Amino acid sequence: MTGADAAERGRRPGEDDGAAAIGLIVDSTVLLTSGERARIGRALDGRLAVVPLSVIVDEVEHTDGELAPSDLCAAMDAGARVSTSMPTAHAFGEAYRDLHARGAEHIIVLTLSAALSGTHDSAEAAAREAPVPVTVIDTRSTSAAAGGAALVVADGAAEGRGAAALRAAAEDYLRDETFVTFCPATLAHLERGGRIGRAASLLGRALSIVPVLGLRDGLVDAIARVRTVRKAHSRMVADALSAAGRMGDAELAVLVSEGSLDDAGEAAGRVHAELEAAARDRGWGISAGVLSPVLTAHVGPGAVGIVVRGRS
């Protein structure tokens, strides 16, 4: 198809025709509200599946979401040994077969950053034996940012766009219309899980430096280092509002490790209140949510994050 032909038919060069019934799989770290799940279900005629990771607490394995966030935080505060486990290729294979049985002719998979987990590799391995074509997308992100990409895929599929076009739209959205920043109460959990270098962790503790972290190219990276948690949260709010301003029509989500914003304490509530005031003035969306327990296992209790994404 030539560029002129594509433009005439409303597609970019290289985008495929639609027609295939799309199924969507996300891993359990991808944050979707109940309303968003319902929206995706309607768009895809119910062809949505979640493949869970696992949280291991003192050698007892829990499927992600099975252990209440408050219980996980209490266990971590008490010194429990906590780790996580990615899904197997077999788990993805079962999900592929299930969606195929529900009518999917092409399956799109959104996984948390491949730089942080082997989940993407498991999905790719299973795709080689799937009964239908599978497109696996490394979101280079997670949580509500990846959730926004899921909405982009579902809405595009409902409009009849094919898999290549949906992949391009999701990747464009994740690159240009998402911003993630967070501040853990301590770097110890990230260090223990290998998500941040030991040198950075020791520096932060030795000098009483509080890091403002983000995701860059799928990796945890330091955005700023300040002296207090309050200053870290203020920097997060400022950066989030700047990102939202660049996007124009934005949604902001405050994410906590505990079971609710109220459970997370005064500091998290203050972050939400500051963002809520700005969102009200600009007509942006604002919400509060809870991190997947798998993510909490790495960032720890007391973490506060902000996700900014373009309204999809």
Same domain, 144 and 193: no
Out of 175, 203, 238, a domain closes at 175
Residue 11 lies in a domain: yes
Cβ neighbours of residue 62 closer than 8 Å, sequence gap 6 or more: 54, 55, 56, 293
Same domain, 150 and 249: no
Residue 183 lies in a domain: yes
Same domain, 184 and 297: yes
Out of 175, 204, 229, a domain closes at 175
Same domain, 24 and 126: yes
Same domain, 245 and 273: yes
Out of 151, 175, 199, a domain closes at 175
Number of helices (H), then strands (E), in the chain: 13, 13
Residue 199 CB burial class (10 angstroms; 0-12, 13-18, ≥19): exposed
Same domain, 211 and 301: yes
258: β partners? none
Same domain, 170 and 196: no
Residue 58 lies in a domain: no
- SS3 of 224, please? strand
Domain enclosing residue 129, as ranges:
3-52+87-175
Same domain, 194 and 264: yes
Residue 215 lies in a domain: yes
Q: What pLDDT does 17 receive?
A: 54
Which parts of the chain register pLDDT below 50?
A: 1-15, 198-199, 202
Ramachandran region of residue 193, left (φ > 0), alpha (ψ -120 to 50) or beta? alpha
Same domain, 7 and 133: yes
Same domain, 94 and 156: yes
Same domain, 148 and 38: yes
Residue 60 lies in a domain: no
Residue 29 lies in a domain: yes
| DSSP helix, strand, coil percent of the chain (3-state; round to 5) | 45, 25, 30
Positive or negative torsion for Cα 61, 29, 277, 211 = positive
Phi, psi of 42 (to 5 degrees): -65, -45
- Number of structural domains the chain divides into: 2
Cβ neighbours of residue 31 closer than 8 Å, sequence gap 6 or more: 143, 144, 146, 147, 253, 255, 289, 291, 292
pTM of the model: 0.89
Q: What are 94-148's pLDDT values in tens digits?
A: 999 999 999 999 999 999 999 999 999 999 999 999 999 999 999 999 999 999 9
Structural contact between residues 49 and 92, judged by C-beta atoms closer than 8 angstroms: no
Residue 107 is part of a domain; what is its CATH number?
3.40.50.10440
Residue 69 lies in a domain: no
Residue 255 is part of a domain; what is its CATH number?
3.30.1180.10
| Distance (Å, whole) CA 245 – CA 209 | 28
Same domain, 117 and 215: no
